[in-house]
Structure 1
Amino acid sequence: MDSPLAAVAKLAGFYLRKGGRLPILIVAVAVFLLAAVLYGEDMRSLAEYSWWRYKALYETDYAPGDPFVPETCDLSDGDWVFDQDYPPYREGDCEFLSKQVSCLQNGRPDTLYQKWRWQPKNCSLPRSVPVSSSVDSMLCDSDLFKTRSPDSTPGGCWSGYETVVPRGRRSRIVDGSRIIFPIKEYHASIEFYWAPFLVESNSDEPEFHSIPVRVINPDSVEKHAAHWKGADVLVFNSYIWWMNDPRMKVLRPGAKNWTEHQEIGRKEAYERVLRTVFDWVDRNLDPNSSSVFFMSMSPLHGRSMDWGNPNGVKCAKEREPIRNMSGVHIGTEMGLWALARKAAASTARVPVAFVDITAMSERRKDAHTSVFTMQQGKVLTPEQKAEPAKFADCLHWCVPGIPDTWNQLIYARFLSGRRPQRYFNATLALEMLRGKRMLFVGDQGPVAPGRKYKQKQDAGGQGVGRDYTAEHYAAVRVQEGCTHADIQEAVESVDGGAASKPEKLR
């Protein structure tokens, strides 16, 4: 029996021999069948999860985007609608995209998770659209600052703004706890500052923070805040690092070192930290020139029973959002969410916008990196991918994906009361940042080429006497529990016995 493509070819030949034109239906069928042959796997994916199916389910009459998003509009109340024009950029457009979140490159077979657009119920977000070739990348969220910590909260948004800079004109400066992307043409910068608990803690070293006993000083922020002064846009977040234990270790008043601590409840500690941070904001920022945001928590999807899939394994093989959240409880610590919202609304002098990403993100069990990610610097092997219960990452997000929506929320809130815009693209984002310093503060931290990695301290608080470059760190792969002698010996073997100087910051 002839294949469908052969049958269509015979029918086309009959019409051509008769000297007639091919009917448009035959041409269309031939093209479709040829595509099915050439792109069989992709066509099967589309057949299973076609946009026509989703168009029927999620048909929505949306405008290109509201030119003005009113401050009274609840951007967190809405639905994920299927949009065949999404995503507005591709993985390859992002120069600094971490391979950890490059899900397609890591073997994910479908792109459906990229095709959902957030639609608030009572207004529309400025719509993401492609831009000219002179600015060839959209707000790709590189997740660059989530590779070391088990966190995928909104600090990743900052690196989305980083990629609005035209390709070829991007530079990166690594300076201790700061990563800086200068935008010279716009006299602006986009920065990230590593502070996992926002206040001072014994986990503040951006590279050596895997400490068995984490202690915070909930009433002290000045060491960090010295780097925040002068920022025009400040975006705070802190969540996952709070979830290891229901009780937190806090420094005792008058303590001389981190061993002098006591335990208090997690909520009490979180509330004290927020009060400390927002008190600093009120005292040190100008409400006429500074915009301050606090991003709510990003959820995990580690239990498929939470959304009624008893046969599932964590978030593995999930292909669509949760449609009905009635009775669904993902397990996010909403007590901390409530404290953050209340604290953001309580500032006396400088307004703090609470950007709620939690509920919308809880629906997206389909958008995590799952087994299409990296572990210890290597893409998961086929054998590891076959064990999702052990290896699926249901915390980090694929990019393009949900973090881009978080960026849109910041953009919409930033524009409230300013010049209306229907669309959101890289050019407009750059104009938004002209002459400004945008700083993200939170619990994501980069492993960036050229970074200086400070040594761990010994029991007496002393270092081993040198700094490490990214190349040293990657070669040594320092694991928790190594002694300083082990580290130095390994580094010296990398150097061939020579104590080389760290790379200079570019």
Structure 2
Amino acid sequence: MKKLNSLVVLLFGLLLFLAASFRVRNGDWKAITEKIASGECDFFSGQWVYDDIKYPLYSERQCRFMSDQSACEKFGRSDLVYQKWRWQPDGCNLPRFDGARLLAKLRGKRMVFVGDSLNRNQWVSMVCLLDTSTDGSNKAMETHGNLMSFKLKDFNASVDFYWSPLLVESNSDHPVLHRMPDRIVRAHSIEKHAKHWTEADILVFNTYLWWRRRNMKVLWGSFKEDDGVYKEIESIRGYELAIKAWSDWLEFHINRTKTELFFMSMSPTHSTGDEWGTESGHNCYNETLPILQDGYWGEGSDPRYMHLVETTIQELKEKGVHVKFLNITQLSEYRKDGHPSVFRKQWDPLTEEQLKNPRSYADCIHWCLPGVPDVWNQILFAHIFS
């Protein structure tokens, strides 16, 4: 009888603890939501704090679906300090990613990342965050053309990536064979891609990297016809046309009561070392620490593109379509240490010249995982639940 009473007391105490924890968690989220709404909590301004206790959020080897493009440790990177930086926003704390909570929301639903290889980088991060925070092996990766789909079968959920580097139709749409000397877009044509993601429950867009050239060609007509009209224009003008086509599609085709919409700002590159005070000709190769200069902004991040997206999102809001713009550019600018550099799978054999000069083939565009994109997803997670 005493044992039974002790067990009852223990269970009652456990229930009280869980109830208190639930109230605290919900209180925290309520406070965060109120701070975000009031502008008091700005996830996008702050500083990187070294934290080797709570970070990284997972290990590279834990993630069964890690991409060789981001597996820096696997390909020889031995300095792992880059994995242990925590983003500390001004005025509030960034909630820790909770995979179980996100999966509960995603049950029976579909989340799609749409865009270029930086959005794929973020998608792989999300896949790893979910894979390593849940038990069970009933998960699979499927590829169908431009679509890569991470299936969480126990939840009847999928977290997908759709390759569409310029959002609109282009001659770079092939998921593998997309490097073209002349980049051509059909600036007003998005339906070819949109039919694959319009019905999703959560959509996360990006596009910037593939627009980083002075000029590009715009096609009025079809790639399959010979009577199309080509015009070479400034890339910023082409970007404006593409974002207009994207916004028009959302206005007339998206389910406003079902689909949550997000747009990620540009991901910075670190290819010119003299921008942060190192020797001319250097880049992210051998960089092991973040940039400490407050407000540092590299020349590779063109604010005109960001302004175009922000203006378009405001116009959509006035039409009743709500897109959350997640400005991850500034916080990522500091992280010259977070790129794969030479520590990734090389898709082509290295030349003798490249072997002599590793800086010449260092990847200073994409990001190691675990790493910076995990913070992007923490911010995305916070906004999904706020």
Common fold by TM > 0.5: yes
Give 1:221's aligned residue.
190
CA distance in 2: counterparts of 1:410 and 1:185, whole angstroms:
23
Q: For residue 187 of structure 1, report the CA deviation from its aligned partner.
A: 2.1
Equivalent residue runs for 1:8-407 within 5 Å:
66-67=28-29, 68-69=32-33, 70-71=36-37, 72=39, 73-85=41-53, 86-128=55-97, 152-163=117-128, 164-165=130-131, 166=135, 168-243=137-212, 245-252=213-220, 256-257=225-226, 260-310=229-279, 313-326=282-295, 329-347=298-316, 348-376=319-347, 387-407=357-377
Structure 1 residues 258, 240: closer, same or farther in 2, change over 3 A? farther
Q: For residue 283 of structure 1, report the CA deviation from its aligned partner.
A: 1.3
Deviates more, 1:69-78 or 1:261-270: 69-78
SS in 2 for 1:153: helix
Structure 1 residues 381, 116: closer, same or farther in 2, change over 3 A? farther
CA distance in 2: counterparts of 1:122 and 1:101, whole angstroms:
32
Structure 1 residues 413, 337: closer, same or farther in 2, change over 3 A? same
CA distance in 2: counterparts of 1:251 and 1:360, whole angstroms:
36
Q: For residue 263 of structure 1, report the CA deviation from its aligned partner.
A: 1.2
- Percent of matched pairs sharing the same residue: 40
Give the TM-score, by structure 1 length.
Answer: 0.61
Q: Deviations over 1:178-205 (max 9, x none)?
A: 1122222212111111111111112222
Q: Deviations over 1:273-329 (max 9, x none)?
A: 111111111211222221001111111101110001126721112111111135653
Q: Deviations over 1:121-165 (max 9, x none)?
A: 02211124798xxx9xxxxxxxxx99xx9x652332222332314
Amino acid at match of 1:100: Q
CA distance in 1: counterparts of 2:304 and 2:99, whole angstroms:
39
SS in 1 for 2:366: strand
CA distance in 1: counterparts of 2:295 and 2:264, whole angstroms:
24
CA distance in 2: counterparts of 1:367 and 1:271, whole angstroms:
30
SS in 2 for 1:223: helix
Amino acid at match of 1:373: R
Q: For residue 396 of structure 1, report the CA deviation from its aligned partner.
A: 1.5
- Aligned partners of 1:315 and 1:392 also within 8 Å: yes
1:411 aligns with 2:364: no
Structure 1 residues 258, 391: closer, same or farther in 2, change over 3 A? farther
Structure 1 residues 194, 258: closer, same or farther in 2, change over 3 A? farther
SS in 1 for 2:231: strand
Amino acid at match of 1:390: S
CA distance in 2: counterparts of 1:246 and 1:120, whole angstroms:
35
SS in 1 for 2:126: helix
Structure 1 residues 288, 369: closer, same or farther in 2, change over 3 A? same
Give the alignment's Cα RMSD to 1 decimal. Answer: 2.9
Q: Deviations over 1:460-492 (max 9, x none)?
A: xxxxxxxxxxxxxxxxxxxxxxxxxxxxxxxxx
CA distance in 2: counterparts of 1:325 and 1:346, whole angstroms:
32
SS in 2 for 1:220: coil
Provide structure 2 residue ranges, at least 5 long, that are not aligned to the other structure. Answer: 1-24, 104-112
CA distance in 2: counterparts of 1:274 and 1:321, whole angstroms:
32
The structure where helix makes up a greater share of residues is 2
- Aligned partners of 1:267 and 1:336 also within 8 Å: yes
CA distance in 1: counterparts of 2:177 and 2:290, whole angstroms:
36
SS in 2 for 1:288: coil
Q: Deviations over 1:88-119 (max 9, x none)?
A: 21010111112232112222121110111111
CA distance in 2: counterparts of 1:153 and 1:329, whole angstroms:
17
Q: For residue 235 of structure 1, report the CA deviation from its aligned partner.
A: 0.7
- Aligned partners of 1:304 and 1:314 also within 8 Å: yes
Give the TM-score, by structure 2 length.
Answer: 0.79
CA distance in 2: counterparts of 1:293 and 1:161, whole angstroms:
15
Provide structure 1 residue ranges, at least 5 long, that are not aligned to the other structure. Answer: 1-62, 136-144, 417-506
CA distance in 1: counterparts of 2:66 and 2:222, whole angstroms:
44
Amino acid at match of 1:324: Q
CA distance in 2: counterparts of 1:302 and 1:258, whole angstroms:
40
Structure 1 residues 125, 382: closer, same or farther in 2, change over 3 A? farther
CA distance in 2: counterparts of 1:115 and 1:381, whole angstroms:
34
CA distance in 1: counterparts of 2:227 and 2:315, whole angstroms:
31
- Aligned partners of 2:218 and 2:233 also within 8 Å: yes
Q: For residue 372 of structure 1, report the CA deviation from its aligned partner.
A: 1.4
CA distance in 2: counterparts of 1:274 and 1:301, whole angstroms:
26
Residue-pair matches, total = 336
Amino acid at match of 1:371: V
Structure 1 residues 266, 258: closer, same or farther in 2, change over 3 A? farther
Structure 1 residues 323, 283: closer, same or farther in 2, change over 3 A? same
- Aligned partners of 1:154 and 1:403 also within 8 Å: no
Amino acid at match of 2:320: R
Computing the radius of gyration from Cα coordinates, the structure with the larger value is 1
SS in 1 for 2:370: coil
- Aligned partners of 1:372 and 1:385 also within 8 Å: no
SS in 2 for 1:212: coil
